[in-house]
Structure 1
Amino acid sequence: MMQIRRLSFAHQNLQEMPFIKILQHSSTLEELDLSHNCLNENLSQLGELKKLTTLILDGNNFTSHVKFAYMPSLTILWINKNKITNLAIFIAEIAKNLPRIRILSMMNNGAAPSYFNGGSLQDYMDYRHYVISQIPTLKVLDDKEIMHKEQMEAERIYRLKYSKGTSKSKGPKENISNAYNA
Structure 2
Amino acid sequence: MTDPTIPPEVIKVTEGQPDNDDSTKLTLAYENLYELPRTIVERFSDYIKYLDISHNKITCLDALVHFKHLTSLIADHNPITENCFLPPLPKLDLLWLNHCKISSLFPWVSKLKESCPNLQHLCLMGNPAAPSYFNGGTFYEYLQYRLFVISQFPSLNHLDDRKVTEDQRAEAQRLYKRPFFERIIKPGSGSFSQLVHSSVTWSGFQNKLTTLLGKDKPNDRNLMI
Residue 180 of structure 1 corresponds to none
Q: TM-score, normalised by structure 1?
A: 0.89
1:104 aligns with 2:134: no
Residue 180 of structure 2 corresponds to 161
Residue 4 of structure 2 corresponds to none
Query: Following TM superposition, by how much is the alpha carbon of 1:19 offset from its aligned partner in structure 2, in angstroms?
Result: 3.4
1:126 aligns with 2:154: no
1:11 counterpart letter in structure 2: Y
Q: How many residues align?
A: 176
Is the contact between residue 36 and residue 63 of structure 2 (CA under 8 Å) also seen in structure 1?
no
Q: Calculate the aligned-residue CA RMSD, in Å.
A: 1.9
Higher helix share: 2
Query: Following TM superposition, by how much is the alpha carbon of 1:137 offset from its aligned partner in structure 2, in angstroms?
Result: 1.7
Query: Following TM superposition, by how much is the alpha carbon of 1:175 offset from its aligned partner in structure 2, in angstroms?
Result: 5.0
Query: Following TM superposition, by how much is the alpha carbon of 1:45 offset from its aligned partner in structure 2, in angstroms?
Result: 2.4
Residue 142 of structure 1 corresponds to 160
Q: TM-score, normalised by structure 2?
A: 0.73
Match of 2:206 among 170, 176, 179: 176
2:34 counterpart letter in structure 1: Q
* Structure 2 residue runs without a partner (length 5+): 1-14, 186-191, 208-225
Q: State how 1:28-67 maps to structure 2 within 5 Å.
A: 28-41=47-60, 43-67=61-85
1:135 counterpart letter in structure 2: F
Identity %: 34
Query: Following TM superposition, by how much is the alpha carbon of 1:79 offset from its aligned partner in structure 2, in angstroms?
Result: 0.4
* Larger CA deviation: 44-53 vs 4-13: 44-53
Check 1:173–1:63 CA distance in 2 against 1; reply closer, same or farther (3 A cut): closer
With CA pairs under 8 Å and 6+ residues apart, which has the higher RCO, 1 or 2?
1
Residue 80 of structure 1 corresponds to 98
Distance in structure 2 (CA, Å) of the matches to 1:156 and 1:127: 14
Distance in structure 1 (CA, Å) of the matches to 2:205 and 2:149: 17
1:26 counterpart letter in structure 2: S
Is the contact between residue 72 and residue 92 of structure 2 (CA under 8 Å) also seen in structure 1?
yes
